[in-house]
Structure formats: structure tokens, C-alpha cells
């Protein structure tokens, strides 16, 4: 068990984030559920963890805003303790379309939410975790997407581009802070049954495309959570 460990999972009121929070809690982590708007969903996840004897808080914060990120970390440290694991899961997806149909405002929002949030949370975590700064080390796991490799043509190139940025950020940061007691990795989920596909206007997307998967089925959020937890483990 890891009763002395604390994890922040951004965007964890639903889907992969929620399953990740529950899995960390089951393995002894004190967990922070972060959400931006859906307080009811966040409270449901928190209560499920608490009912099973876990330690958990929920914190509303827009992690694409620096002041909110600082408040998030300060709140978690005050209520749960030293943050030893960060999972950057917060992300948004817009309706499927071609690149020429994507507005400048939409592209900017995707980058702000999906990339800036990852950058800001990584930055705040490293300030606290780095042994160079007196920290005790830690682990960061960024949630990317298979879209970063496919490019998602005719669907959401903006989302794919944002996840490509997350991949590159992960690679560079892993090399930059490895000697400071911090491991940085990423997972690239493929076709997973989550609510996000509905945000893209195609709630049946996984079933429509599952025949292209060797196992002939989509993945479930817990399977991705298990990969994230393994990367965060010793």
C-alpha cells in the first residue's frame, strides 16, 4: 500500500480520469479529484472513494489558468500532504470536421485546455517535487492520445495536434528532470469507451471502428487507468 502518497488527477470527474482516481485510491493513495464545472460528477467519484475507506478531496480548478493551478496544489498540500504523483488527464474535444471548418477560436481553446493545462501542472509539480528544490521526487503521467500519431484527418486535427504537443512536452521534460527524482511518462489511449466521443458528435465512434482493432473491441477506461497507475508505481 502507498498510504503516504498523494495524487492529483486533473479532469477526473468522469471517464479515464475517474477510473484512475478510483484505482489510485484502491492502492492507498490519497487522491484529489479535479474538475472544472461538473461538481455533481466529481462528488460522486469522491463519495465512492470515501465509502471504500479512501482519502479523497475534490477541488474545482481550471487547470489552463496558472492561478487556479497554484491554488489546486496549495489546497492539496494543505489537506492531503506532499503531492507525489500528478496525472494530467484534463482535455476537451470538439465536433468532428475538416481543418478548414475549424475556427481560430476553437483551435486556440483546444491548445489552451489540452496543452497549457499540462504545461502549467507539470511546472507546479516540478517546483515541489524536484530534489534540486528540496523536494522528495515524484511521478508525472500525461494522458495523450492515439490521435497524436494518426493526426485524426477529417475528424479533429486540432485535438490531434494538441496531443502531439503533449507527447513532445513529455519527452523533453522526462529528460530534463530525470536527475531531479522525477519520472515523466505518457499513455496514448486508442479507441476507448468514454463520454468524450459524444463531445465529438459521434457517441457510437468506438463501435463503428472497433473492427479495425485486432481484438475486435474498444477499450474501457479502467484498462487505461491500470497503465497510468503502473507508470506511477515504483
Catalytic residue among 35, 156, 159, 193: 159
Q: Are strands 182-187 and 30-35 parallel, antiparallel or unpaired?
A: unpaired
b/e per residue, 1-22, with b = 16+ CB within 10 A? ebeebbbbbbbbbbbbbbbbbb
d(CA 192, CA 73): 29
19 in Cβ contact with 221 (< 8 Å): yes
d(CA 92, CA 194): 12
Catalytic, 159? Answer: yes
187 in Cβ contact with 144 (< 8 Å): yes
- Strand order across the beta sheet in which 6-9 lies: 56-60, 30-35, 6-9, 85-88, 138-143, 182-187
Which residues are marked as active site?
Answer: 159
Amino acid at each position: 500500500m502507498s498510504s503516504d502518497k498523494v495524487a492529483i488527477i486533473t479532469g477526473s470527474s468522469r471517464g479515464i480520469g475517474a477510473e484512475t482516481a478510483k484505482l489510485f485510491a484502491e492502492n492507498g493513495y490519497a487522491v484529489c479529484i479535479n474538475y472544472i464545472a461538473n461538481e455533481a460528477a466529481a462528488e460522486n467519484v469522491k463519495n465512492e472513494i470515501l465509502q471504500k475507506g479512501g482519502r479523497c478531496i475534490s477541488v474545482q480548478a481550471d487547470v489552463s489558468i496558472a492561478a487556479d493551478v497554484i491554488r489546486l496544489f496549495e489546497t492539496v498540500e494543505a489537506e492531503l500532504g506532499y503531492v507525489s504523483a500528478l496525472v494530467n488527464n484534463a482535455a476537451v474535444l470538439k465536433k468532428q470536421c475538416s481543418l478548414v471548418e475549424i475556427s481560430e477560436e476553437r483551435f486556440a481553446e483546444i491548445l489552451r485546455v489540452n496543452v497549457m493545462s499540462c504545461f502549467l501542472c507539470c511546472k507546479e509539480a516540478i517546483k515541489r517535487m524536484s530534489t534540486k528544490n528540496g523536494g522528495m521526487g515524484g511521478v508525472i503521467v500525461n494522458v495523450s492520445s492515439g490521435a497524436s500519431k494518426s493526426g485524426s484527418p477529417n475528424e479533429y486535427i486540432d485535438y490531434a495536434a494538441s496531443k502531439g504537443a503533449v507527447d513532445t512536452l513529455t519527452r523533453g521534460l522526462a529528460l530534463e528532470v530525470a536527475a531531479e527524482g522525477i519520472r515523466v511518462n505518457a499513455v496514448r489511449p486508442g479507441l476507448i469507451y468514454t463520454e468524450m466521443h459524444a463531445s465529438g458528435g459521434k457517441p457510437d465512434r468506438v463501435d463503428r471502428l472497433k473492427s479495425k482493432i485486432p481484438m475486435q473491441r474498444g477499450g474501457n477506461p479502467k484498462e487505461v487507468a491500470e497503465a497510468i497507475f503502473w507508470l506511477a508505481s515504483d
